[in-house]
């Protein structure tokens, strides 16, 4: 049985068409998977990284405020330093709570003591600020 040239061309074209469709399907499926992965990354680890960064900046601000209060005797400057100090601790506590809330449930309990440690550090630094 001999297959004509048109039959061979049609079979080849059909094969190429099926293969192109399969490659397209797997490509779109892979892009969807990558999109889901990046969305999960932006929701969880990115929130945690931003929270840690904000906490670090807040602690640096607290350190500068305590140092400024030790060096200055200007009441207006000390009043604004106290307000900045309180705002920095509020931001730190909120960011730690937000970071812990973004963790998966099984990991959340492991990191729950960070908030307790931050509060005990806050108590020690409040005393240092009052002494300064």
Distances 86 to 44, 102, 129 between C-alpha atoms, Å = 27, 25, 11
* Residue 6 pLDDT exceeds 70: yes
pLDDT band of residue 98 (cuts 50, 70, 90) is: confident
Q: CA dihedral in degrees (39, 41, 47, 51; nearest 10)?
A: -160
> Residues 65, 79: contact at Cβ < 8 Å?
no
Domain spans in the chain, listed from the N-terminal domain onward: 1-42, 44-132
What is the tens place of the pLDDT at every residue in 25-48?
999 999 999 999 888 877 777 777
Buried b (16+ CB within 10 A) or exposed e, 13-38: eeeeeeeeeeeeeeeeeeeeeeeeee
Instruction: State the chain's mean pLDDT as an integer.
Output: 84
């Amino acid at each position: 049985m001999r297959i004509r040239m048109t039959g061979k061309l049609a079979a080849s074209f059909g094969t190429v068409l099926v293969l192109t469709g399969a490659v397209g399907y797997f490509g779109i499926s892979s892009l969807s998977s990558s999109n889901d992965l990046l969305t999960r990354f932006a929701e969880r680890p990115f929130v945690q990284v931003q929270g840690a960064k904000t906490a670090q900046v807040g602690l640096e601000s607290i350190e500068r405020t305590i140092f400024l209060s030790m060096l200055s005797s200007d009441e207006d400057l000390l009043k604004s330093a106290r307000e900045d100090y309180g705002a920095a601790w509020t931001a730190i506590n909120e960011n730690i709570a937000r970071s812990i809330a973004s963790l998966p449930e099984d990991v959340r309990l492991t990191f729950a003591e960070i908030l307790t440690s931050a509060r005990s550090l806050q108590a020690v630094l409040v005393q240092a600020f009052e002494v300064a």
